[in-house]
Every structure is written in C-alpha cells, then in structure tokens.
C-alpha cells in the first residue's frame, strides 16, 4: 500500500526520526504559530505544517518585485503594449486550437467565451509557459512575515496553501509560482484554488499547474462564480464632454446606469441599453484620453485582477484572438 504523501514528505526530511528538529528562517517568528494553528483547525497535521514552514526561505527579490508593479508606473498606452502584442495574440490562436474541445465544453457549460478564458491564460502565463519559478511556500512566507503592508492577506494565503498542499497530496516543496504565490496556468492564489479550481478531466486531481483542461475549467468557473453573464456586453466606447474628474473616482463596481451617465455628459458611441449598470473609465491613450463604459462583465474580469487596465488588456486580447482565429 502506498504511503500518504504527507508521510513521504516527513520521511524525506527526516521528520520521523525522534528528537530531530529542522530550524528555518521563520522557525522563531511568533506569527508562524498562528498560521500553524489556523491550518490545524482546518485539518492539517501540526508537525507537518511546522516542518513545511521550517523549510521556507526569505527571498529579498520577492520583496523588491512586489514594490514595483507595472501598473503603478505606466500609463495605459505603455501598459497595454506589455500584453497586446502580435505574438501573444498569435499564440492565443494556437492555444485556442490545441484545446478547442475543452474550451468548447467549458464555454457551453459556463457561458464564458473561449477567447476570454484563453486571453486570461495568455496574459497571466503566456499560455502556461511562464508560471513562476519561486517555491510557493517561500513566496507566501516572505510576504506574510516580512511585508507588513499586506501581511494579513498573504498570511491567509499561506494558511490556505498549507491546507491545499496537505489535502491534495502534492509535495508542497515542488509547487512553484509567481513572486506573489500565484500558481499554475491561470495564476490562482491558494484561496482561489480551494474555492474555484476544478477537476475537469475527472482524474481525481485538481491540477492547474500541468493540466490545461483543469486550468481552463478553473478560470471559467472563477468567472461564473463571480457573476459572468453569458452573452452580455463587456465594455462600450464612449465620449465625454464634461470636465470633472470626480466621475472617474467611484471605483470599479458599476453604480450608475448608462442613462444616468449620459445625463452627465458620458455617453456611449453606439446604441446601448440605457438601463445597464456601468462604470465610466478614462485612460491615457497615445493620442489623448480614451473613454469607456465598463459593464457588469467587465467588472467580473476585474475580480480576477482588481485593475481596469488589466481587464481591458484581457478583453482586447480576447477580441484580437477571436479575429485572428476567424481569419479576419
């Protein structure tokens, strides 16, 4: 009979030898005990959790990277160039064709367009090719214990990682991800993995790292669970004849109707249902400001990454992939 993976993990690190202790960079941190206690409450073995955290290493490169996200230093006309490239669109068509059957099945089931699922994976990891080289436990421990600005968030993610690693039977020290601890094709954080990841092929494993079918279904499930409306519009170009900037300071969630915004000088360029909820968006383009009416499905994209520029990049990439795939 095969040994459970968590027992194999203990054996690999000598943790079944009486009296043996592995001290790590975070072994004396008081916050560590709270993380372990919370994981134990969710069924994780205490010694297993402690042993794993003893292997966590502080990475200064992670702390450096998280302090300089691209969106905070680039205007839209530069930001979009990161993701909206000919190569990314062309490789999106290849991914669309290679996984056509799964994408069709998932799209039919969830209502999330295959091109949108593909664009998310294209933006996040260049279709699974760049998924991150940091051990997830190192990334999350570094940010939980040494990045006070967002320590509560990353502490919760570290706890979720302990639980998912223990429950899934995966070797936690082999799981790699981004500097923020995001994992797999779609760069799910541990909490998102536990809440939304799907075993699409029915093999009993939820594998978003190497199984494109599971990753595709997981991305679509994330969108569905966040309120994606099949067939509904996403974003509409607009004109603005006002001068106030306050209109653009209300956040990402739609709180006004298209009609109400039109009364304030922010109107769609094409015929649009005036009862739809929308958020006005102004971005700095190469030839001046661009104006957009962001509808509910656009807001769903921002639930994946809380950024209007990210969401617009995903949407425009999805449209380019569709166009290329159709031969337009």
Q: How much is the pLDDT for 57?
A: 96
DSSP helix/strand/coil, 313: helix
Q: Is the pLDDT of residue 20 over 50?
A: no
Q: How much is the pLDDT for 291?
A: 98
Query: Which residues fall within 8 angstroms of residue 205, CB to CB, at 6 or more apart?
Result: 168, 199, 211, 214
Q: How much is the pLDDT for 69?
A: 64
Instruction: Determine the average pLDDT of the residues in 128-151.
Output: 97
Instruction: Determine the average pLDDT of the residues in 29-57.
Output: 96
Number of H helices, E strands in the chain: 15, 7
Q: What is the pLDDT of residues 267-285, one digit of tens each?
A: 999 999 999 999 999 999 9
Q: How much is the pLDDT for 11?
A: 47
Instruction: Determine the average pLDDT of the residues in 42-59.
Output: 96
Confidence of residue 18 (pLDDT cuts 50, 70, 90): very low
124 is catalytic: yes
Q: Is the pLDDT of residue 45 over 70?
A: yes
Q: Which has the minimum average pLDDT: 5-19, 81-95, 158-172, 299-313? A: 5-19
Alpha-carbon gap, residue 283 to 302, rounded angstroms: 15
Q: How much is the pLDDT for 326?
A: 94
Q: Indicate the average pLDDT of the chain.
A: 92
Alpha-carbon gap, residue 50 to 33, rounded angstroms: 8
Alpha-carbon gap, residue 190 to 75, rounded angstroms: 30
In this structure, what DSSP letter does residue 246 have? Answer: G
Place of tokens 């093999």: 203
Residues linked to residue 188 through DSSP beta bridges, in sequence order: 183
Instruction: Determine the average pLDDT of the residues in 315-328.
Output: 96
Alpha-carbon gap, residue 234 to 88, rounded angstroms: 21
Q: Where do the domains of the chain lie, and which CATH numbers do they carry?
A: 1-55+132-176 (1.10.8.350), 235-294 (no CATH)
Alpha-carbon gap, residue 298 to 279, rounded angstroms: 9
Instruction: Determine the average pLDDT of the residues in 20-42.
Output: 84
Place of tokens 């994408």: 103
Q: How much is the pLDDT for 205?
A: 92
> Catalytic: which of 31, 124, 159, 286?
124
Q: Is the pLDDT of residue 13 over 50?
A: no
Q: Is the pLDDT of residue 70 over 50?
A: yes
Instruction: Determine the average pLDDT of the residues in 239-252.
Output: 91
Q: Residue 295's CB: how many other CB atoms inside 10 A?
A: 22
Q: Are strands 288-294 and 266-268 parallel, antiparallel or unpaired?
A: unpaired
Instruction: Determine the average pLDDT of the residues in 96-106.
Output: 98
- Are the beta carbons of 308 and 283 closer than 8 angstroms? yes
Confidence of residue 77 (pLDDT cuts 50, 70, 90): very high
Alpha-carbon gap, residue 297 to 228, rounded angstroms: 6
In this structure, what DSSP letter does residue 138 have? Answer: H
């Amino acid at each position: 009979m095969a040994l459970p993976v968590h027992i194999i993990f203990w054996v690999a690190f000598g943790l079944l030898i009486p009296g043996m202790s592995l001290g790590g960079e975070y072994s004396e941190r008081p916050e560590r005990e709270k993380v372990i206690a919370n994981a134990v409450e969710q069924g994780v073995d205490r010694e297993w959790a402690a042993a794993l955290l003893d292997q966590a290493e502080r990475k200064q490169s992670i702390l450096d990277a998280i302090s300089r996200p691209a969106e905070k230093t680039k205007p839209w006309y530069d930001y979009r160039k990161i993701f909206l490239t000919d190569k990314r669109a062309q490789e999106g068509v290849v991914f669309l064709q290679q996984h056509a059957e799964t994408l069709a099945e998932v799209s039919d089931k969830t209502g999330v367009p295959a091109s949108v699922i593909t664009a998310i994976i294209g933006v996040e990891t260049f279709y699974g090719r760049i998924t991150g080289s940091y051990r997830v436990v190192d990334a999350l421990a570094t940010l939980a214990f040494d990045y006070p600005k967002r320590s509560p968030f990353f502490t919760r993610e570290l706890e979720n990682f302990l639980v998912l690693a223990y429950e899934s039977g995966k070797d936690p020290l082999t799981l790699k991800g981004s500097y923020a601890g995001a994992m797999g094709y779609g760069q799910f954080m541990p909490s998102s993995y536990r809440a939304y990841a799907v075993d699409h092929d029915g093999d009993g494993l939820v594998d978003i790292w190497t199984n494109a079918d599971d990753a595709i279904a997981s991305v679509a499930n994330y969108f569905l669970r966040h309120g994606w409306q099949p067939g509904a519009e996403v974003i509409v170009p607009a004109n603005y004849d006002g001068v106030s900037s306050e209109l653009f300071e209300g956040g990402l969630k739609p709180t006004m109707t298209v009609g109400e915004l039109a009364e304030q000088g922010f109107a769609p360029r094409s015929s649009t249902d005036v009862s739809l909820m929308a958020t006005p968006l102004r971005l700095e383009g190469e030839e001046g400001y661009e104006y957009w009416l962001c509808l509910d499905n656009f807001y769903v994209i921002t639930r994946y990454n809380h950024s209007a520029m990210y969401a617009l990049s995903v949407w425009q990439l999805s449209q380019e992939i569709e166009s290329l795939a159709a031969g337009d």
